[in-house]
Amino acid sequence: MIFGKIKPWQTLRQRQLLRACFHIDPAKALELASRWFDTFALDETTYAEHRLLVRLVQRFPEAAIKPSDIALISGLERQLWVRSNLNFKTAMPAFAALDAFDIPWVLIGSTQWFACSKMAQSETADIIEFTAPDSARSAALHVLAQNGWRLDWAASETVAEQAFSGLSKGQGAIRFTKASTLFANTSGACDRLWKNRVSQNHTLGAVYVPDADSCLNIALGKAYPKFNPDDQWVFDLFNIGSDPAHKVLSSNAPPRHIRRVVAALRTCFYR
């Protein structure tokens, strides 16, 4: 059953922090942030909350946060930034190798936003996530292996579960997601991804990212209840535009799924 309640968080504290980061009403968001810092201890935050804290402080740099908390969050931001940059540097030769074999690829998830200079400070790339055509998946895995990447684990491949392979090389980590599972909501969108992918300059070299429509469809795919509590689809939708509910309503995803995504957005981020 792919339809059901959509909730992109693991705990109440993560939900409130996520709402503070993305609520479209700044006053409401600041109220949620203040309540969060009054209720929860910063030194008990989980890894899933680290980038949310960084995002929150960047949204409200003048918020009344204790200096000790600001110092801790600044440390988290530096740690995420350094690790992401080192990981990105390790992964770039692998993408160059895919280019050499004419295997198309795009960055997805938080990595695509980290590759954008305007958003790099508020995103992470500690695991480089990308996808390539299903028809080239075996060839791509072979090229990665030839370039020193070791397969650590792989998700089972079923209709309702996103299939991906995790690979590592030294301190680098990448996640190779199966393309067709990203577009379970929208027929034909997978083919358009390769046709419309966008080349983007990065300090370490050129990278490929999805166009806006593909990014929207990928976000909707990750909003499947099967994938929660993954909150990346929330980041994706708000990174695309300030009014994601409008974007979702104008998409060509199945109406039932649109209603559930919009309901989740309006319940948590619009009121």
Domain-located, residue 140: yes
Domain-located, residue 1: no
Domain-located, residue 6: no
Q: How far apart are CA 72 and CA 43, in angstroms?
A: 8
Domain-located, residue 261: yes
pLDDT at 168: 92
What's the pTM? 0.88
Diameter of the chain measured on Cα atoms: 54
Mean pLDDT of 182-209: 85
Q: How far apart are CA 144 and CA 176, in angstroms?
A: 10
Decide if pLDDT at 201 tops 90.
no
Domain-located, residue 111: yes
Task: Say which residue, 164 or 210, is predicted with more confidence.
Answer: 210
Collapsing DSSP states into helix, strand and coil, what is residue 129? Answer: strand
Tokens in use for 130?
């990308």
- The span from the first CA to the last CA of the chain, in angstroms, equals 28
Tokens in use for 251?
């998409």
Domain-located, residue 4: no
Q: What is the DSSP string of 155-217?
A: ---BTTB--EEEEEETTEEEEEEEHHHHTTTSTTHHHHHHHH-EEEEETTEEEEE--HHHHHH
Could you list the beta-strand ranges (E) of the chain. Answer: 106-107, 128-132, 150-154, 164-169, 172-178, 198-202, 205-209
Domain of 124 in residue numbering reads as 12-269
Domain-located, residue 192: yes
Decide if pLDDT at 256 tops 80.
no
Decide if pLDDT at 2 tops 80.
no
Give the count of beta carbons closer than 10 Å to the beta carbon of residue 125: 26
Q: State percent of the chain over pLDDT 90.
A: 38
Q: What is the pLDDT of residues 24-66, one digit of tens each?
A: 999 999 999 989 988 998 888 888 888 899 999 888 887 777 8
Q: Looking at the 3D structure of the chain, how many domains does it have? A: 1
Domain-located, residue 158: yes
Look over the chain and give the mean of its residue pLDDT values, rounded to a whole number: 85
Residues with Cβ within 8 Å of residue 252, at least 6 apart in sequence: 186
